[in-house]
Every structure is written in C-alpha cells, then in structure tokens.
Structure 1
C-alpha cells in the first residue's frame, strides 16, 4: 500500500510530503495541487514499467495519460537545492522507500530520464480521469486487463469478465456470488442510481462493444445516447472498482467521481468506494463533493474503520501549497473544518439570512 509520497521540486511543490491511507480523499480549491499529486503517482508508477532497468527514458504524456507538453513544466519554479536531478519523487509502502530521480533529457527535451533507487513498491495502479467518456452508441473494444483512463472500455471489460467467469471479492457481492461479473456491476449501478439494468454484446470484427439500458419506465432497451451522462460516467467507476477487487494490492485513482450524479447518488458512490477497501483495494479520490466525503465517512464508521480513511485538504497560502490532514472520528465526524473546506453553503445561507433581514427592515 502507498503510505506516503514525497515530492521535491515537482510542479507547485518545492518540498512536500503527503500521507495516504486505504481510502484517501484529496479536496481543496481549484489549482491547489490535487491533480498534481495524482500526476505524480501516475508518473512514478509509469516509470516502473521497465522494472529491470535502473535508468529509463520516460514519455511523460504516456505516463500521465494526457498530453502535457514538455516535461520542463513538471519542474518547480521555486526549487530547493537538489543534486543530480531536476525533481524527485519518493513513495513509502509502510516498510521501505522507493525513490526516482528525474532529469530532463537534454538530447530529447520532450522526454524524462528516470533514475531509480531502491525500488520496492510495485502496486498496479488503475486510473479514471475527470474527462470520462459519456454516452455513445457503441464503445471501442480492447485492452483485456485494465480500465483505460477515460473509461471507454468498461463495457468491453465486463463482457470479457463474463466470458472468463471472473469473480468479484465476496465482500462486494450484494446478493451473493452471481454467475456473471456484469450482474454485480448492474446490482451496484442499482444501489447507487436505482432502477438500472443493461445488456452487452461485443463485435470482435468491428472491435466494438454495445451496451443497452432498461428500467421500469420503458418496455424496450435504449441506447446510452438516450440516457443521461450519469449512467455512463458511473459505469466505468463501478466496473473498475469491482475489477480491482479481484486483484491483490490494486490502487484505484479516480478524479471527480461525483460528475453528473445527484447528491443521493454521490453519497452512495462514496459508500461504494469506501467498501472497496474491504476487498483490499486502495482508493485515492480527488473530489469537490461533500456528498462523496460524507458517504465515505458514514460507511467507514459503519465498518468501524475510520482510522483507514484520510482526508487531505489542500490550500494555497502565502505563495505555497499547504496540505492539512483532517482526521475522521470513530463516529465518522470530521475533527476539523478548515477555512475553505466545504464551508460555502454556510456562507451562502448567512448571506441569504442577511438579505432577508435587510428586506424585513
């Protein structure tokens, strides 16, 4: 499990350490460094693909799974002194530190040279970004063993899992072990959204997978493009989560799981993500939703595992990024509410009360 990560001269962090737990939530204002932390994780584990090489050349866009331009933008503009590297990433797995020093390749300035030290962590990282694929008539088939970052192969993964007889972790089986992986996905879609069923079919010649939805209000299946974005966005998360539950030591990183979801469904999603930790999945979530956090801490309290939940609040203060770790009590309560941490509702209500008082006078 990833317990800690240290970043030196990386993006907005001159030198910063951040803690992780079985369930880690990254919250905070825009441009406060949340995505930078996720990118650091992706870059670090993307640099371990050729684990037998002490020194490797890394294509940054491939590692981060998004076009980012030249790697020079990854170097902090207010660096501390660091020998033999432009920036440095280190991860602690609870027993040992794994360290990678990064240098911009002067012969090929769009690449990074990664020099690895004492590598001991080899977690498999699954990542879903905020720009997940919405409703499509058909989805591309491909990549049999891993969700892609936009979630576009979720339907295909389900179909392959059904054919292979893939079983999910028993703690996540809502109604006992089903005969198909896709049935578990459907049950969790129902638990989060309510009243959803679907069918799958893959055309191996066209390399596409079709999914059609059904609910109690229609008498025939409909295409994803005839439904809202929430169903398509949630499909990849549930599929990836249940897929990871079959593996040992999987890390699931998700950006904005609340996208296109009603507050009730956001809370249910938070509970689902916390439940994944029961199956040994380490979950790292970037979110702007208090409902995701509330659902996760309610579930953590029910499981009596609030000590395995970590909320990191990031803020920009005095020209630097600060990370505040907020503890969750045994009853699921947050022990602190820093300024800027989901306090906008109370501020807006005070403003409305002030206006009502003024109008009354």
Structure 2
C-alpha cells in the first residue's frame, strides 16, 4: 500500500507537499485542476518498471499496446515555467502486504533532461528502516553510489546507472557488500508495489454479445476494462475450489445498487463461447442489451475482487452512467473491500453521492477518518493546490470548498421562496 506521495515540478504541481494516502483515498476537484496528475505519477513509474528495456530511466510512453499513457516529452511532464534546475521529482512511501526482509520503505527520484531530450535520473534514493542508498548522476553520465548520509561514494562509474527508475544495477549491488542484498530486496518490493497497481480509466469499452474463453486467467484487467469478462469466465469455469466467488461478489453489489439481481454465465451450445446474462425483475438479458451502466461498472467491481491482496486499485470516475443510489453504494464497496481483501483504493470522482455516503459511513463508525483520506484539488493561477478535507467523527467537513457540489440548501430555500411568492400573487 502506498502511504504517501509527493510531486515537485510535475505537470500542474509545483510542490504537492507530502500527501498522506489511506486504504481509501478520494480525490475531488474541479476539471483540469491536477487530480489526474497525482494518479499519473504512479502510473508513469508502473509503466517504467514494466518496460522491456531495463536501462530505461523513465518510460514516457508511446507504445499503444503496452503503455498506460503517452506522456509526450520531458517538457510535457515538467511544470511550465520551471527554471534552473529543470528537474521534476516523484517520492512515495509504502507498506508491503507480504512479510519479508523489507516491510516498508521510501522511494524518491528526480529527473533531468539529457542532450537528446530523454529523461535521465539525477538522483535516486531508496530507503527502508536504517538502510538508505543513493545513486547520483555526476559528470559524463557517471553515477556515484552512496550509503546512508556518507559524503564519499563507495563507487563511481558509468556502469552504475539505475535501471527502470527503481533498481541499482548488478555492479552497484556488488559494491555495496553486505548491504547489497537489502538494496536488491528493496527494489524488488518497490517493483511489486508498482506492478500491483490496477488502473481503470474513465473510458471503458462496450461489451460484446458473447465471448470465447481460452481456459486461462488474465494477469490484469486493462485500463479500458478489457479482460474483465475473461476474469469472470475464469473465475466461474475454472475448477480451483473458488468457483463463482468473484461472480457472487459482483452480483451482491449489483443488487445493493439496485441495477440487477445477479449475473450468470451461459454457454452457447457445446461451443467455447459464453454469454454474460443479467437478471432483473424476472427477465434474463444479454449484457449487451441492458444499457451502458452495468457494463461500465462491471470492471470496477471485478477489479476489487480480482486484484491480489495488497494491491492498489486506481479508478477515474468509477461512477460514470450510474444513478445516484448506485454511486452511493460504491462508497460502501470501497470501504468494505479495502478492509476484507486488503485492497487500497485511490478514487478520482465528481460524485457528490459517493462523497456524502462516505461521510455517512464515518458517522456510522463503519469506517473512520484514519482509514479514509478525502482530498480536494483546485487550481490557483497556473498552480495546482491540494486541500485535505478535515472530517470529524460524525462525517462533517469543516473546511469544505465553497460551491463545488453546488448549494443544495440554497436551492431548496430559493424554491420555497418562489413558491411562497407565487402563492401570494395568486391570493
């Protein structure tokens, strides 16, 4: 789980400060305020560690098949107006779900532009407990390796450049002696934290009428929801003792949202093709024929049950095309699965209904302000500004930005005033 994040000179952010991340973190804010940049910083590192080129320092994208985003050039990531040094940085802290020699740690990396326009690591710092390692870029592309706060490097060479932003190369590990194993384990745990991010964007693909199951389980749901049905088919048709666990869980939440009673899978004859059937009000319909709301929420619910314990599920606008009650129930889904399955949710949303239900859950003591972070992002001139919403034990927010969700009470007052005025005119 990611426990904090800090960005400096990254896209809209001059400096976020240290942002505390919780098991459920909700990002709110106006359009184009900088919310997505917070999410994208972690996705940039995820696609870097998954790059086939281990020598890459930062994978800014361009491969439509394998990359999550195309960030463009170094200048597109660097905050506009940044003067010397032209440098941006990403820092995060984490707690590992799986117990090992490294149970928590911190990653910090700053980047500058090379002569050919690529992003190159200026300084990488990895730490866990009392162990801290740094790789600092020197002249002529050489890198110096430091342990803790020592001012003299234990090695300096052009072959010591970090790999995929998170790892020291084998030559550096060897120079660290007995500390080398810790540094290597730390990089592996950081890589696992980033690889275990499941991301779903706001644009999700429409369903097919039927699907072929090739008797395999996908590694991950893709950012547009692709592979969701493969997960459902694998979960329902595999003989692993957990048959229908995911399907039953999804059916429960669809019923809570009052959009369907359950989902089932129907084989087409004796072929390897299957339909997803939605049951509601005594009618069984193909997923393709039930409107867009259920197909769009299906990847969100599936990700919550399919992501391995300890994963981070990042969602942009999960409420798309859902009616108000269903949006509210999403808050319960995030809270319950974060606790029962040890999944972290980072959710960017514009839904007032989701937010209000989160307040209610805190008031009911079904969760607490210690388990939930609600962050508001706004734009002041050309800078993104973050405000942590202060929520008390009754779910009340005492530093709420004015007019973001409109003025519901004011609208009610105005309606009452107009009704009274019209009645007086008629009398």
What aligned pairs does 1:15-34 form with structure 2 within 5 A after superposition? 15-17=15-17, 18-34=19-35
* Partner Cα distance (1:114, 1:138) in 2: 47
Structure 1 equivalent of residue 46 of structure 2: 45
Q: Highest relative contact order (Cα 8 Å, sep 6+), 1 or 2?
A: 1
Structure 2 equivalent of residue 189 of structure 1: 254
Greater alpha carbon shift after TM alignment, 2-11 vs 323-332: 323-332
Root-mean-square deviation over aligned CA pairs: 3.2
1:194-241 alpha-carbon deviations (Å, 9 max, x no partner): 4332333689xx9976422222242xx322232121111111111000
SS in 2 for 1:307: coil
Gaps in structure 1 of 5+ consecutive residues: 169-177
* Partner Cα distance (2:256, 2:240) in 1: 21
Structure 2 equivalent of residue 283 of structure 1: 345
Structure 2 equivalent of residue 298 of structure 1: 360
Q: 2:317 aligned with 1:256, yes or no?
A: yes
SS in 1 for 2:309: coil
Greater alpha carbon shift after TM alignment, 94-103 vs 151-160: 94-103
Aligned length: 342
8 Å contact from structure 2 (residues 259, 294) kept in 1: no
- TM-score of the superposition, structure 1-length normalised? 0.82
Offset of 1:34 from its aligned partner?
0.7
* Partner Cα distance (2:120, 2:272) in 1: 36
8 Å contact from structure 1 (residues 212, 222) kept in 2: yes
| Cα 1:274/1:102, change in 2 over 3 Å | same
Offset of 1:186 from its aligned partner?
1.7
What aligned pairs does 1:75-114 form with structure 2 within 5 A after superposition? 75-79=78-82, 81-82=84-85, 86-93=87-94, 95-104=104-113, 106-107=115-116, 109=117, 112-113=119-120
Structure 1 equivalent of residue 285 of structure 2: 222
1:71-127 alpha-carbon deviations (Å, 9 max, x no partner): 431110032644xx63211112265320233345654x5x64456432543411001
8 Å contact from structure 2 (residues 201, 223) kept in 1: yes
* Partner Cα distance (1:324, 1:185) in 2: 34
Q: 2:125 aligned with 1:117, yes or no?
A: yes
SS in 1 for 2:295: helix
8 Å contact from structure 1 (residues 127, 254) kept in 2: yes
Gaps in structure 2 of 5+ consecutive residues: 96-103, 127-165, 167-185
Structure 1 equivalent of residue 57 of structure 2: 56
SS in 1 for 2:288: helix
Offset of 1:14 from its aligned partner?
1.5
Structure 1 equivalent of residue 158 of structure 2: none
Offset of 1:270 from its aligned partner?
1.1
Offset of 1:341 from its aligned partner?
3.5
Structure 2 equivalent of residue 198 of structure 1: 263
Residue 371 of structure 2: which of 269, 287, 308 is its match? 308
SS in 2 for 1:323: strand
* Partner Cα distance (2:58, 2:314) in 1: 24
SS in 2 for 1:31: coil
- TM-score of the superposition, structure 2-length normalised? 0.70
| Cα 1:208/1:259, change in 2 over 3 Å | farther
